[in-house]
Copies of this chain bind each other. A is one copy, B any other.
Amino acid sequence: MQAEIICTGSELLLGYVQNTNADYLGHELAALGIEVVLQITVGDDWKLMEQTVREALERADLVITTGGLGPTTDDITKDVIAAVLGVPMVTDDESLVRMREYFARRGIEMPDIFIRQASFPHGSKIIPNHKGTAPGALIEKDGKVIVIFPGPPRELRAMYEASVKPYLLQVPGRGEVLRTRVLKLTGIAEYVVQEILRELGDLTNPSLGYLAMPGEVHLRVNAHAVDPAEAERMVGELTEKVTALVGEYIFAVDDEIPEKTVGDLLFRKGLTISVAESCTAGMAAARFTDVPGSSRYFVGGVVAYDNHLKQEVLSVPAETLERYGAVSEQTAVAMAEGIRRLTGSDLGLAITGIAGPHGGTTAKPVGLVYVALASARETLSQRLLLPGVRKAVRIGTVNSSLRIVKNFLNRQAE
C-alpha cells in the first residue's frame, strides 16, 4: 500500500513553521507497513492544489491532506478535493452542532463564517476533532482512500490515533510491517559507532540508521517482514548484537526519558539526590526537575562555576584544587561528597570538566569531564572524553551522568 501526503499552507513554504505533520505521518504510516512515496507542500493556490491532488490520486492508494480546513476563504482543501472527485459539498449537521457547543462553552456565539468548517465533500465520513473546531474527513472512492486532517499538529495527532489508525489497521494488503527500535548513545562520536559496528557486516534487513545530534547518537534498528512478530524478532536480535559492542554508551531506548527512569528508581528506593555542577552549570539539575514530582527525590544543587565556590560552598580542599586542578578526579570526588554533606541528600552527583571552546590543553583537552557519585558507603568516579563542541559536550555530560546514576541504582539490591 502506497501513500502520498499533501500539506497545505503558504506559511509552511515560507519556512517559518516547521512541518512536523509530514514527519509524524511518515513515521506512523511506516509502522503500519504503509510506504509514503511522496510528500508535497503546496500553498493556498487552487490550480496547483488541484493538480497535486489529482496526480496523487492517480498514483497512490492512500492520499492524506493536512491543513486548509479553517473558516476563511483561503482554506480551500475540502473544496479542491470535492472538485477533483466531482462531488458537491454538503453540510454535516452533527459537526455544526458540535461547533456551536464548542463556542457556547467559551461563552461566545459561533460566527457564521465557521459554517464552512462543517461542510465536506459528499460521501465523507466525519473524523471528530476533540482538540479544536475543524473536523476532518475520510473518503473512500474507486478503491482509493482520502484522509483530510486539519493543520494543528496536536489536533491531527489526536485524530490519527483515535480514528485513522484503527481504520488503517483494518485495511488488508498493507504489505510488510516495519518495526524499529532506537538506541540512544552518548559520549561517543557517530563515526566511531559506525567503525565499531562495521564488524556486523553489510546490513539490509534488519538494518541500522544513524542520526547524530548534540551530545547524542541515535541508532535506529529497523526490520520489515509480513509477520509483525518476525519483524520484532529481527529487531531484537540485531539490538542484542549492537548492545554487545556499544552497550556501555546507551543511555536511553526508544522514548525512554532517562531522568524519569532515574527519578522512578530513586523514589522506589526512597533515596534523595543533589547535584554539584561546574561545566554543565545547572543543566543536570534542570533535567532532574523537568520531571513533575521530582521534589520527592531531588533536593537541590550548587553551580560552582567559579573555583572559590568549589572551596567555600562545597568544601573542596584548596590543596586538591591546587595539586590536581578543578578538572580532576580528586576535585569531582570532593565536590560529590561536599554537595551530599551540604544538602543532607543520600546521593551526591558532581560534574567538572572542560566544555570549551577555550580552556583546553594537551593534557586536559576540551571534552574531558569527571563525574563522581557519592553515597553513604562509597564515592564512584568516571572519566569521560566527550566528542563535539561546547553544546554537545554539555548535553553529552548530562546524558552520561544520568547513565552513571541509573547504572549505580540498578546495581543496588532492591
Contact = CB atoms under 8 A, between A and B. Distances in A.
B42 A30 contact: no
Interface in A292-318: 292-295, 298-306, 308-309, 312-313
Contact of A281 (B40, B285, B309): B285
Given A15-B23, A313-B313, A300 B306 contact: yes
Q: Identify the interface centre among A15, A28, A301: most chain B CB within 10 Å of its CB.
A: A15
A282 B292 contact: no
Given A295-B306, A358-B293, A27 B11 contact: no
A209 to B, nearest CB: 7
Contact of A30 (B15, B211, B303, B356): B15
A162 interface: no
B41 A22 contact: yes
Interface of A: 11-20, 22-28, 30, 35-43, 45, 48, 52, 59, 209, 211, 220, 275, 277, 280-286, 288-290, 292-295, 298-306, 308-309, 312-313, 342-344, 356-358, 390-391, 394
Contact residues of A: prevailing secondary structure: mixed
Contact of A26 (B13, B22, B342): B13
Nearest to A398: B286
Contact of A302 (B16, B286, B303, B391): B303
B27 A23 contact: no
Nearest to A345: B306
A23 B19 contact: yes
Contacts of A52: 38
A26 to B, nearest CB: 3
Nearest to A288: B281
16 contacts: A14-B30, A16-B27, A16-B209, A16-B220, A18-B20, A39-B41, A275-B303, A282-B286, A286-B394, A292-B357, A293-B358, A294-B305, A298-B305, A300-B309, A301-B303, A302-B302
Contacts of A27: 14-16
B299 A356 contact: no
A66 to B, nearest CB: 13
Contacts of A344: 308
A25 B15 contact: yes
A120 to B, nearest CB: 25
Nearest to A45: B37
Given A13-B37, A38-B43, 20 more contacts: A15-B30, A38-B42, A275-B282, A281-B282, A282-B283, A283-B286, A285-B305, A286-B394, A292-B356, A292-B358, A294-B305, A295-B305, A295-B306, A299-B306, A300-B302, A300-B303, A300-B304, A306-B343, A312-B342, A313-B313
